[in-house]
Amino acid sequence: MPFVFTDYMRAAIRIYALCEAEVIYVMTHDTIGLREDGPTHQPIEHLASFRAMPNTLMLHPANGNEIARSYKVVVVNRKRPSIFALCRKKLTQLPGTSIEGFEKGGYTISDNSSGNKPDVILIGTGSELEIVVAATEDLRKEGKVVTVVSFVSWELFDEQSDEYNESVLPASVTARVSIEPESTFAWHNIIGSKGKAIGIDRFGASAPTGIIYKEFGITKEVVIAAAKELS
């Protein structure tokens, strides 16, 4: 079912969260990349709203490697509902993505830094992790030191130790860029006050995927520009 239709299910999901019920929702059409379906079918505020709902596990996996692990994660989470937000595009198994990393919520998939001190940390979720990886390749060709993080679940990441979280997002590195084609609300909790959140804070539009992504700035070029600005 398209992710935007959780609007009709929100009351039930909230009750399941309140009752600590293990219910699994598998939603698709996770972003604006729906071609001509238009803004009525394009989720904008949905990821942020479910991340704000207490006792709810919101999952935004990037590819098959992460999805394979996610089913184990949701099955063992027996006292809260879990929501998958999946895309409809064809995805590649990006190097570094793993079933082991997924259960941590956020994890490093690529790092060419020394001593965990990159010039910039690029953070992607869902299918947009591919955009981050493409931007990283170009930045490294220009001599930038870049760490790439797949951030699949805020809730799971918050449940890790402080030591682990520091290893993924070291406090000393304030140059952070996130990309997610939904609302940027609350992303500064992850990227900090000096970071840059690339997203969409208005309703979508009806257009082919490539055109609408370019129109809303969900592109490799925008990520590269933000990374250079911060670092």
The 10s digit of each residue's pLDDT in 94-137 is 889 988 888 999 999 999 998 899 999 999 999 999 999 999 99
Residue length of the chain = 231
The 10s digit of each residue's pLDDT in 77-104 is 889 999 999 987 777 788 899 888 889 9
Distance CA 190, CA 179 (A): 12
Q: Would you identify the CATH topology of the domain 3-230? A: Rossmann fold (3.40.50)
Distance CA 28, CA 88 (A): 7
- Side chain identity at residue 222, one-letter code: V
**Strand bridging mode 120-124 / 146-151:** parallel
Distance CA 19, CA 16 (A): 5
- H and E: helices and strands count for the chain: 10, 8
Report the alpha-carbon angle 129-201-131, nearest 5: 15
Q: What's the pLDDT at 35?
A: 67
Q: What's the pLDDT at 33?
A: 80
Q: What's the pLDDT at 225?
A: 98
pLDDT greater than 80 at residue 13:
yes
Domain residue extents for the chain: 3-230
Cβ contacts of 165-171, under 8 Å, gap ≥ 24: 165/106, 167/108, 167/116, 168/104, 168/106, 168/107, 168/108, 169/106, 169/121, 170/116, 170/117
The 10s digit of each residue's pLDDT in 28-67 is 999 888 767 789 999 999 999 999 999 999 999 998 888 8
Give the bridge partners for 205, in sequence order.
none
Distance CA 45, CA 195 (A): 20
Q: What's the pLDDT at 98?
A: 84
